[in-house]
């Protein structure tokens, strides 16, 4: 599948009609995610009850890949135990960065389309930002960036100064 | 480089020799000379005129794209065009133009204060040179219109 197909088939649907778009008022967990190199700036707010993602919303300014990834992510993790959400984060990271990774138990469902991102290293950060921010929100770590120790693909930045 | 070294004392050579230890970049210097000879054989004025022709052509051609905004429109600009198209993030534009075989730079171009000045997160930037033709610009413009179709 080419990057054009991923835009046509999935991403644009989620960009035009983002799921769970917005910010929860008084969430139990929240985080802000920033990709300083491309200017993506997003927020993930959550209500976690009895270790289950009772509600999750996503909002921000970003490219289409980041926006679709965030929209599909919220749809995927809503109602799931946080342990499962953490596994999904790891699976999504493997999907977008490891050439040989196979989603054997089909845990990611329609998100598997993001495997195309493996061939677009400069866009991995765009796809990963919502998931980093989700992890940050679940751990209540506060703000997160895709640079430094959180860099999913060190040295892949598109703006090297 | 040094003048003399003992266990007790090191005396460095005078500047600039002090900072020029090791093998000088001989290959790079010869390469630069060859490049300059080549450019002079074509003619710097010819190159400048070609670049100007392409830039003027691109400026006209890109204006046929709906919702396109230029950043930087000086009369005396070099063959570099920065722009955005309404509703399409520059990085999405770059990825999709790449699919069409068009190489552009996207992002803040290591000039974040300029992005802030124009209130944009990023721009798409196409550039032209000696080895480009007006055909290349036609492909660029047609490809941008294809990307718009994907987004609309």
Q: Which candidate, B7, B147, B9, places its Cα nearest to that of A7?
A: B147
Q: Which candidate, A64, A74, A93, A60, places its Cα nearest to that of A4?
A: A64
Give residue B7's pLDDT: 94
Residue A154 has pLDDT above 70, yes or no: no
CB A34 within 8 A of CB A41: yes
**Which runs of consecutive H residues, i.e. helices, occur in A78-160?**
82-97, 124-139
Over residues B15-43, the pLDDT tens digits come to 988 988 888 899 999 999 999 999 999 99
The whole-angstrom distance between A36's CA and the closest CA on chain B is 10
B108 to A123: CB separation less than 8 angstroms, yes or no: no
All residues at 6 or more sequence positions from A27 whose CB lies less than 8 Å from its CB, including other chains: A45, A46, A47, A55, A57
Q: What is the dihedral sign for C-alpha B32, B37, B38, B44?
A: positive
Tokens (6 digits) for A124 = 């991995």
Catalytic residue of the set B15, B27, B28, B110:
B110
Give residue A104's pLDDT: 80
Give residue B124's pLDDT: 97
Mutation test of the interface with chain B: which of A5, A13, A63, A123, choosing the one with the most B Cβ atoms within 10 A?
Answer: A63
Token pair 């179709």 is found at B149
For residues A39-56, give the mean pLDDT.
93
CB A123 within 8 A of CB B106: no
The whole-angstrom distance between A48's CA and the closest CA on chain B is 33
Q: For chain B, give the number of residues.
A: 152
Give residue A113's pLDDT: 87
A159 to B109: CB separation less than 8 angstroms, yes or no: yes
The rounded distance, in Å, linking the Cα atoms of A73 and A117 is 16
CB B97 within 8 A of CB B104: yes
Token pair 């998100």 is found at A111
Beta-carbon count within 10 A of B23 CB: 6
CB contacts of B106 in chain A (<8 Å) are 158
CB contacts of A4 in chain B (<8 Å) are 96, 99, 150
Token pair 């204060």 is found at B113
Average pLDDT, chain B: 94
| Interface residue ranges in chain B relative to chain A, Cβ cutoff 8 Å | 88-92, 95-96, 98-99, 106-110, 115, 121-122, 150-151
Q: How confident is the model at residue A161 (pLDDT cuts 50, 70, 90)?
A: very low
**pTM exceeds cut of 0.90:** no
Over residues A140-149, the pLDDT tens digits come to 755 566 666 6
Average pLDDT, chain A: 85
A63 to B109: CB separation less than 8 angstroms, yes or no: no
Tokens (6 digits) for A25 = 């008022």
Over residues A23-41, the pLDDT tens digits come to 999 999 999 999 877 778 9
- For A161, which of B88, B110, B122 is closest by C-beta distance? B110
């Amino acid at each position: 599948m080419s990057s054009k197909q991923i835009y046509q088939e999935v991403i644009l649907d989620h960009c035009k009609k983002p799921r769970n778009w917005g910010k929860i008022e008084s969430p139990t967990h929240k985080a802000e995610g920033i990709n300083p190199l491309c200017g993506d700036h997003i927020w993930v707010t959550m209500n976690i009850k009895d270790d289950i993602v009772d509600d999750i919303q996503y909002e921000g300014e970003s490219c289409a890949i980041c926006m679709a990834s965030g929209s599909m992510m919220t749809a995927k993790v809503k109602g799931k135990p946080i342990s499962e959400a953490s596994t999904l984060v790891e699976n999504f990271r493997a999907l977008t960065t490891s050439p040989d990774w196979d989603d054997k138990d089909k845990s990611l469902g329609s998100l598997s389309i993001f495997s195309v991102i493996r061939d677009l290293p400069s866009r991995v950060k765009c796809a990963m930002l919502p998931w980093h921010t989700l992890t940050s929100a679940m751990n209540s770590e506060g703000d997160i960036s895709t640079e430094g120790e959180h860099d999913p693909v060190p040295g892949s930045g598109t703006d090297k100064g | 480089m040094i003048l003399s070294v003992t266990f007790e004392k090191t005396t460095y050579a005078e500047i600039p020799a002090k900072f020029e230890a090791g093998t000088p970049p001989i290959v790079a210097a010869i390469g630069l000379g060859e490049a300059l000879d080549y450019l002079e054989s074509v003619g710097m004025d010819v190159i400048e005129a070609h670049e100007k022709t392409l830039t003027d052509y691109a400026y006209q051609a890109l204006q046929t794209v709906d919702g396109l905004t230029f950043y930087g429109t000086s009369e005396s600009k070099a063959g570099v065009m920065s722009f955005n198209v309404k509703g399409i993030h520059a990085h999405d534009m770059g990825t999709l133009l790449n699919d069409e075989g068009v190489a552009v730079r996207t992002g803040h171009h290591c000039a974040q204060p300029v992005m802030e000045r124009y209130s944009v997160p990023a721009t798409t930037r196409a550039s032209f040179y000696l080895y480009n033709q007006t055909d290349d610009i036609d492909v660029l413009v047609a490809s941008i219109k294809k990307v718009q179709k994907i987004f609309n």
